Chains A and B, each alone.
Chain A
Amino acid sequence: MLGVARLLTSRLNHTFALSTSRLSLLLGSSSSSRGLSSGGVRSKVEAVLNLEEVKKVLSDLRAEDIQIIPVKSQCEWTDFMVIATGTSTWHVRNIAQALIHKVKQKQKGAERLLLPSVQGHEGGNWVVIDSGNVIVHALDEKARSYYKLESLWLTEMAPKGPNQDLEKALNTSASPYTLGYRPLNISSQ
């Protein structure tokens, strides 16, 4: 039985808070990013990691089996999921550190650093780096085969289109009711 969530008033677009600084100060702070032309949303995207940089960092570190999954259609809280495998726990932690280093380099000179949050760093088993639009998962071999993240996001969460089972059941049933006809109920005959 699914628990039903009830929202008492309408939910506006959620603002997620990243670990260190506050989002309201973004326009003034990051002087390194030149593309501040179109206002608040654009600068939010540039201040943290984007996809090409993540790809470059992961390929530099020789992370294995990098997969990028666009989940914009299935999920509202993020746009891309990047999954990478590390050879050992040290490698996995190294991937996380390298991404943070990249973000720090990008924001050199700004008075406040907007760092993506890192979770699972102590365990070294599965490290998640949450940078807004892009979420990077760094796992080791065992964790990857245990959690099966690609099969979760590619197949199991496949866009729930029109319910095919229901349609099939309606179309193949032989009863005239399902085809849209209703036999005339003429009692005089």
Chain B
Amino acid sequence: MRTNLKVVDNSGAKRVMCIQALKGKKGARLGDTIIASVKEAQPRGKVKKGEVVYCVVVRAAMPRGRCDGSEIKFDDNAVVLVNKQGEPIGTRVFGPVPHELRKKKLVKILTLAEHIA
């Protein structure tokens, strides 16, 4: 709740603030979907400031353990805007995204991503 996240696709939003984590009592982690409110947006984008949108967390500063024992953590918290059915609103995703998205059935975001960590 109230976490400021960076938006890394070209949907028009720049910063969003989380208002609800959809799964998990302790909050959303890498690969989870959240509901967020757009705090800052580009003037001609697909979303406007103040809109409530669904997002998928693609980078998180909290380390996430992988099944082979390693951990992955990023320098920032970043998010990709999605619609309710899970389709990404933007058409390109910038920056690295982790492999965890494949297991979470978010292959669409992986195909639009430019680099996979």
Residues of A within 8 A of B (CB): 1-12, 14-17, 75-77, 81, 117, 119-120, 122-123, 125-126, 128, 130, 135, 137, 146-149, 152-153, 156-157
Contacts and interface: CB of A to CB of B under 8 A. Distances in A.
B68 A12 contact: yes
Contacts, number: 93
A16 B75 contact: no
10 contacts: A3-B76, A7-B70, A14-B99, A16-B103, A119-B105, A119-B106, A122-B85, A128-B111, A156-B114, A157-B114
A8 B70 contact: yes
A152 B99 contact: no
A120 B110 contact: no
Interface of B: 59, 63, 66-76, 78, 85-87, 91-92, 94-96, 98-99, 102-103, 105-108, 110-112, 114, 116-117
Nearest to A14: B99
Contacts of A3: 59, 74-76, 78, 95-96
Nearest to A16: B102
Contact of A119 (B69, B76, B107): B107
Given A12-B68, A16-B103, A5 B74 contact: yes
A6 B103 CA distance: 20
A7 B69 CA distance: 10
A103 B109 CA distance: 25
A125 B68 CA distance: 35
Nearest to B61: A3
